[in-house]
Amino acid sequence: MTDVLIRNARITARGAEPCDVAIAGGRIAAIGSSLPGGGTEIDAAGGLLSPSFVELHCHLDATLTAGTPRPNRSGTLWEGIALWAEIKPALTEESVYARARKTLLWMLSHGVTHVRTHVDVCDPSLVALRALLRLREDLRGTLDLQLVAFPQEGIYAFADGEALMREAIALGVDCIGGIPHFEMTREDGVRSVEWVLAQAREHGRRVDIHCDETDDDQSRFVEVMAAQTLRQGVSGKVTASHLTASHGYNGAYAGKLIGYMARAGLHVVTNPLDNSVLQGRFDGYPTRRGHARIKEMLQAGLNVACGHDSVMDPWYPMGDGDPLKAAFVLMHYAQIIGADERPWLFRMLTDMPAAAFGLSDHAIAVGAPADLILWDVPTEDEALRRLPPRRAVFRNGVLVAEREGAGMRVLGEALDVSPPG
């Protein structure tokens, strides 16, 4: 029996002709023309129906802390890290939980139904991790949350970093992270990657490493990630985030590297909002764009996602958790503007991050979960051009967010879009 019937929707893969989509039991039951009625009917009026968004890179422990204990005056990565080190000792489970939940409701209003967040575990109390473990359970079924054990200050550069990582794994994180370019020596960086990949294989976890997020073209830890992924036999479960150093690699090395990354089945996340303002800070003129070699990676068949990253935190004081805005910036920043290239942008918010998340059927297809966004615009291009609010968001066929006047209702309540304080 049909629970929800969406009529006259445009689906990119089916071309310009509108069709009907029937939802039953939380899944897409049928797609076609003039489907028989049943359940709640919604007239899409020719609007786009897309898969929901998968946000593959954010930091919910730090979200909504911008300006605490003071603003990042320089706007640099390094001042942001220093500010975060001051914030951490004052964190409470209640404050982390409340800020993260507020941000996740913002994301849900934008059509995000799956989120991967990095959680700093360079804290002997693991306050933020404990709060987000609780939030993960509380939101289960409404929004899927993956937690990455992230050693912001290094596995070996931070005292007892390895022990804290082990504790985080035991507490139940979904993914194991690292930050090799932040370790004190190249050797420690390599050792950290080897340790993370070995732990992932032993414990059956995914990997998501902040890798080569620097303008130093000698930072080349992603090659170690590719090699260790193959040696540990965990292809398809490993994500390399940022990779901004690749912007400065010479062409011969970059070509060889991208080939090995593809062979290893690495996933990649680019984060244009943060990295467009954090990179190039040591340059004169011309100043580098400072993003990963996204086009070349896509052309080589790598699975690449676009992440929002920070939302009003010490590194980036802007943002509202809408991945579409990150894709809009990436379209310009990475010059993904050709008619044959722009379709990548929606894929970098939907099926590509879904693959890295571990979802095998995140698509508009019969039998797939009904995780959907209904738009008032007819095409992906129009969504990118106009950045409109979402008309409706479905999770497992249940309406979880909808436009209401000039605002949104999420989980049955008016969405509060004001920042804390």
pLDDT tens for the chain, residues 1 to 421: 899 999 999 999 888 899 999 999 999 999 999 999 889 999 999 999 999 999 999 999 999 999 999 999 999 999 999 999 999 999 999 999 999 999 999 999 999 999 999 999 999 999 999 999 999 999 999 999 999 999 999 999 999 999 999 999 999 999 999 999 999 999 999 999 999 999 999 999 999 999 999 999 999 999 999 999 999 999 999 999 999 999 999 999 999 999 999 999 999 999 999 999 999 999 999 998 888 999 999 999 999 999 999 999 999 999 999 999 999 999 999 999 999 999 999 999 999 999 999 999 999 999 999 999 999 999 999 999 999 999 999 999 999 999 999 999 999 999 999 988 7
Please tell me whether residues 375 and 264 are part of one structural domain: no
What's the count of helices (H) and strands (E) in the chain, helices before strands?
Answer: 13, 18
Return the structure tokens found at 257: 């590297």
Please tell me whether residues 113 and 203 are part of one structural domain: yes
Cα distances from 265 to residues 147, 198, 227, 349, 376, in angstroms, run: 21, 17, 11, 19, 36
Please tell me whether residues 198 and 341 are part of one structural domain: yes
Q: What is the pLDDT of residue 391?
A: 99
Contact assessment for residue 323 and residue 110, using Cβ atoms and an 8 Å cutoff: yes
Residue 259 lies in a domain: yes
The H or E element containing residue 384 is helix 380-386
Please tell me whether residues 202 and 163 are part of one structural domain: yes
Category of 126 on φ-ψ map: left (φ > 0), alpha (ψ -120 to 50) or beta: left
Q: What is the pLDDT of residue 420?
A: 81
Hey, how many other C-beta atoms are within 10 angstroms of the C-beta on 325? 18
Contact assessment for residue 221 and residue 257, using Cβ atoms and an 8 Å cutoff: no
**For residue 13, what is the domain's CATH number?**
2.30.40.10
Please tell me whether residues 216 and 135 are part of one structural domain: yes
Q: Range of 80's domain?
A: 53-357
Q: What is the pLDDT of residue 289?
A: 85
Residue 341 lies in a domain: yes
Please tell me whether residues 17 and 92 are part of one structural domain: no
Return the structure tokens found at 104: 């996740």
Please tell me whether residues 22 and 156 are part of one structural domain: no
Token match 């062409």: residue? Answer: 251
Please tell me whether residues 44 and 57 are part of one structural domain: no
Please tell me whether residues 38 and 60 are part of one structural domain: no
Q: Could you tell me which residues are beta bridge partners of residue 9?
A: 19
Q: What is the pLDDT of residue 255?
A: 98
**For residue 297, what is the domain's CATH number?**
3.20.20.140
Please tell me whether residues 369 and 274 are part of one structural domain: no
Q: What is the pLDDT of residue 419?
A: 86
- Quick one: three-class SS letters along 247-299? HHCCHHHHHHHHHHHHHHCCEEEECHHHHHHHCCCCCCCCCCCCCCCHHHHHH
Residue 222 lies in a domain: yes
Residue 413 lies in a domain: no
Residue 224 lies in a domain: yes
Please tell me whether residues 259 and 340 are part of one structural domain: yes
Domain count, the chain: 2
Residue 415 lies in a domain: no
Residue 38 lies in a domain: yes
Return the structure tokens found at 61: 């422990």
**What pTM does this model have?**
0.97
The residues annotated with a catalytic role in the active site are 213
Please tell me whether residues 176 and 277 are part of one structural domain: yes
- Quick one: three-class SS letters along 47-100? CEEEECEEEEEECCCCCCCCCCCCCCCCCCHHHHHHHHHHHHHHCCHHHHHHHH
Task: List the one residue out of 337, 350, 420, 351 whose CA is nearest residue 385.
Answer: 337
Residue 90 lies in a domain: yes
Task: List the one residue out of 46, 10, 9, 56 whose CA is nearest residue 327.
Answer: 56
Q: Which residues fall within 8 angstroms of residue 235, CB to CB, at 6 or more apart?
A: 229, 264, 265
